């Protein structure tokens, strides 16, 4: 099996590469990543040691470059993780989200049509369903929940999903889509809630909580997400959407307090700042279809996963320092300076 993984130098893509090396060591992995600000090539240091791993620095928007990789490697399966993934950045600068997340996905699928493929899998998000009210804990996102997006990020991801479904119906491209809730774990760029709070708390810097910190996210350990994607590839039905999540809802403020407590830091570091524009209230996935059809279920409880995650960042402060060098301080100042 030859599997082409885009976005493999980012958070979830790199965890997926490591899962494949562990669980499917006979597969050839062709990793394609443009190495944007969100990537850290050192994340893949151990993958480079495998003879079954090859890496191409390429942009999924580049039709000729992507075509040349397909021509040379002839992948059997493509899994598309590559994306601009941060909601706050999409609010500041939507254009690149439309280009990478929509056009990039189309470029990949055009290459799949040209060269033939057993499966194109699109890594999607629960944010395409919009949000749920805080006072209706009985409501969950199902695969047939209407698409109703809030941010330029979620709109670009929803557009990509619609395009994937259109390529299936129009051209018969064998596609699947997974839509996952918030991931946490090793190798996440410290612009996202959990690594940002771990990084700031470690340095006794203020922890910027948006609004009152009451927005709810449904957290899944990244390795469980990766097992879910592998299950969709191997057991999922072509043309179908699968929601992945672990019924692990937490208000942001709870997460921040857990991090402070694990690190032995005072709650006085918490600073409430101006809310995110259009901030989604609550995400909550019903993963019943994936569980019933694929036999998939998360195995890492949040109480264990968050400890593993905090421990990982404490042991990899050099990795964090690499991510936060370069443009990070400028980004931080622009995003949080006057908040």
Q: Is position 7 an interface residue for ligand NAD (rule: CB under 6 A)? A: yes
Alpha-carbon gap, residue 182 to 69, rounded angstroms: 31
Q: Which of 29, 34, 69, 111 binds ligand NAD (CB under 6 A)?
A: 34
228 binds, among ligand TDX, ligand NAD, none (CB under 5 to 8 A by kind): none
47 touches ligand NAD (CB under 6 A): no
125 touches ligand TDX (CB under 6 A): yes
CB of 169 to ligand TDX, least distance (A): 25
Q: Where are the alpha helices (DSSP H) in 74-215?
A: 87-92, 95-97, 105-115, 152-171, 193-202
Judged by CB under 6 A, which of 43, 80, 85, 324 binds ligand TDX? 85
Q: Which of 243, 265, 248 is nearest to 256 (CA)?
A: 265
| Long-range CB contact pairs, 43-48, < 8 A, 24+ | 43/9, 43/14, 43/187, 43/319, 44/8, 44/9, 44/14, 44/17, 46/18, 47/8, 47/14, 47/17, 47/18, 47/21
- Residue 252 binds which of ligand NAD, ligand TDX, none (CB < 5-8 A, kind-dependent): ligand TDX
Separation between Cα atoms, residue 108 and residue 307, nearest integer Å:
37
Cα Dmax for the chain: 57
Instruction: Give 125 or 300: the residue with its C-beta nearer to ligand TDX.
Output: 125
Structure tokens at 308: 């593993």
Catalytic residue among 59, 127, 191, 224: 127
Q: How far apart are CA 129 and CA 283, in angstroms?
A: 9
Is residue 46 among the annotated active site residues? Answer: no
Q: Which of 122, 155, 178, 182 binds ligand TDX (CB under 6 A)?
A: 182
6 within 8 A of 82, measured Cβ to Cβ = yes
280 among known catalytic residues: no
* Annotated active-site residue in 153, 221, 242, 283: 153
Quick one: what does residue 232 bind among ligand NAD, ligand TDX, none, with the CB cut-off 5 to 8 Å set by partner type?
none
131 is catalytic: no
Residues belonging to the active site: 126-127, 153
Contacts to ligand NAD by CB under 6 A? 6-7, 9-13, 33-36, 38-39, 59-61, 81-85, 100, 104, 123, 125, 157, 180, 182-183, 189
């Amino acid at each position: 099996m030859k599997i082409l993984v885009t976005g493999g130098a980012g958070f979830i893509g790199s965890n997926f590469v490591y899962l494949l090396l562990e669980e499917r060591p006979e597969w050839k992995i062709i990793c394609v990543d443009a190495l944007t600000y969100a990537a850290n090539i050192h994340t893949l240091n151990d993958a480079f040691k495998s003879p079954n791993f090859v890496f191409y620095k390429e942009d999924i928007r580049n039709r000729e470059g992507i075509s040349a990789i397909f021509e040379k490697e002839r992948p059997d399966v493509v899994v598309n993780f590559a994306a601009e993934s941060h909601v706050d950045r999409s609010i500041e600068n939507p254009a690149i989200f439309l280009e990478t997340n929509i056009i990039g996905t189309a470029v990949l699928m055009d290459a799949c049509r040209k060269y033939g493929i057993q499966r194109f899998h699109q890594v999607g998000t629960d944010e395409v369903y919009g949000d749920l009210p805080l006072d209706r804990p009985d409501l969950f996102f199902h695969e047939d929940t209407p698409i109703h997006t809030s941010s330029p990020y979620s709109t670009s991801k929803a557009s990509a999903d619609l395009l994937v479904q259109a390529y299936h119906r129009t051209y018969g491209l064998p596609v699947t889509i997974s839509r996952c809730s918030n991931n946490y774990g090793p190798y996440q760029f410290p612009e996202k809630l959990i690594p940002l709070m771990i990084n700031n708390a470690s340095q006794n810097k203020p922890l910027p909580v948006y609004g009152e910190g009451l927005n709810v996210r449904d957290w899944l350990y990244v390795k469980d997400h990766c097992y879910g994607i592998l299950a969709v590839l191997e057991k999922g039905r072509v043309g179908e959407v699968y929601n992945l999540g672990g019924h692990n809802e937490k208000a942001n403020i709870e997460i921040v307090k857990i991090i402070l407590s694990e690190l032995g830091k005072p709650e006085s570091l918490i600073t409430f700042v101006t809310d995110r524009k259009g901030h989604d209230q609550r995400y909550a996935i019903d993963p019943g279809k994936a569980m019933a059809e694929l036999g998939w279920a998360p195995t890492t409880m949040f109480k264990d996963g968050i400890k593993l995650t905090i421990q990982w960042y404490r042991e990899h402060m050099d990795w964090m320092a690499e991510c936060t060098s370069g443009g990070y301080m400028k980004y931080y100042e622009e995003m949080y300076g006057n908040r």
